[in-house]
Structure 1
Amino acid sequence: MRNLIFMLLGILLVVSCKSPEARKPVTQKSGSYINESIERNKKIVAAEEKQIKQIIEEDSTHQYISSPNGFWYYYHTKDTTGAATPEFGDIVEFDYNLRTLEGQNIYSKEELPTRTYAMDKEKLFSGLREGLKIMKEGETVTFLFPSHKAFGYYGDKKKIGTNVPVISTVTLNKISQENNNPNN
């Protein structure tokens, strides 16, 4: 009888021990916030592009070019000699300004000093970085940037607010080729 009791206790002990089960979360999050954010951003981009296209339609004095990078531009001064455009690491020196789509100055050329920039090695808002890549030395170009190509959701934390599309007139003064030889 004793053996039977020990055997039943042993079987009961083995059966009652099981591994812990994972608990289900109390709340489950869905992707609704992300989906709402995507829809909101699509509406913002569509509204800004509509506003830019209206400006282009109303301006018969300039020939606008649509960039595959998501902005529009026209030339004031164009170099037709076939000079080189800046490449990764080249040092460019340029002047620029920033205005609203309504034409109000945000930063004038006088407020923004001549900028020296190492191509793709320093911080610069994406639209201007991509715009400089299509320019040649001595050219002046006006760019129309939707907010996602300018300062986006955060603005510049000074004069440019959230989701502000901008117009920028840029003059590329000088391109210096990257110095690959450390002995020079």
Structure 2
Amino acid sequence: MKTRLTLFLISLIFLASCKEPEVRRPVSYSKSHTLVATIDPLKKVNSIEERKIEEYIKRDSTATYLVSPNGYWYQYLNKVDQESNTPKKGDIAELSYEILDLNNQIIYSKEELGVKEYKVDKEDFIPALQQGIKTMKKGETIKFVIPSYSAFGVVGDNNKIGINESIISIVTIINIKENPENEN
């Protein structure tokens, strides 16, 4: 009988301890508004940059600038009208370029940067130029006016280009070496 009573009490304790699990809440609960909080300031920065670029273009009234769907403005300084290939993915675009600020002050000169062999879509480069180079022909020179979000962004280049700084880059395609894999 003692065994039955012990078994009954153990069963009773076991059944009493079984209950629905409770949802555990974090000790400190707060909604994350990080994304929402950063959108408005970035919109303001982009709006300010766009106004500065528009002012730059107005000051350069003799030039005709085109707007790219990729978010930058550009002007042909030397356009090649003859039929010629543009660089494709994997090609090597041999180019010279320089970077200026919106006051036409040189940040990085052609001499400082040297000739660059850019492997199209296969290496990291200034985002706007990655797109723009694919539209250029051998011998062409284009002036790109690039907002920071298509250039060096919110960090700059950690050297001469500051945070959220729009830039101008004048690019000349010297040569295009086709990727043999593109011919297949």
Q: TM-score, normalised by structure 2?
A: 0.90
Task: Tell me which residue corresponds to 2:49.
Answer: 48
Q: 1:98-140: per-residue Cα shift (whole Å, max 9, x none)? A: 0111111100111110101110111101011111011111001
Q: CA offset at residue 4 of structure 1?
A: 5.4
> In structure 2, how many angstroms separate the alpha carbons of the residues matched to 1:117 and 1:97?
14
Within 5 Å, which residues of 2 pair with 1:11-160?
Answer: 11-18=12-19, 21-160=22-161
> In structure 1, how many angstroms separate the alpha carbons of the residues matched to 2:160 and 2:58?
28
Q: CA offset at residue 21 of structure 1?
A: 3.7
> In structure 1, how many angstroms separate the alpha carbons of the residues matched to 2:31 and 2:151?
31
> In structure 2, how many angstroms separate the alpha carbons of the residues matched to 1:9 and 1:177?
82
- Greater percentage in helix: 2
> In structure 2, how many angstroms separate the alpha carbons of the residues matched to 1:36 and 1:126?
25
Q: Match of 2:180, SS? A: coil
Q: CA offset at residue 95 of structure 1?
A: 0.5
> In structure 2, how many angstroms separate the alpha carbons of the residues matched to 1:73 and 1:29?
45
Q: TM-score, normalised by structure 1?
A: 0.90
Give the root-mean-square deviation of aligned CA atoms: 1.9
5+ residue gaps in structure 1?
none
Q: Give the number of aligned pairs.
A: 181
Between stretches 148-157 and 137-146, larger displacement belongs to 148-157
Q: CA offset at residue 5 of structure 1?
A: 6.2
5+ residue gaps in structure 2?
none
> In structure 2, how many angstroms separate the alpha carbons of the residues matched to 1:28 and 1:134?
51
Identity between Structure 1 and Structure 2 (%): 42
Q: CA offset at residue 171 of structure 1?
A: 0.6
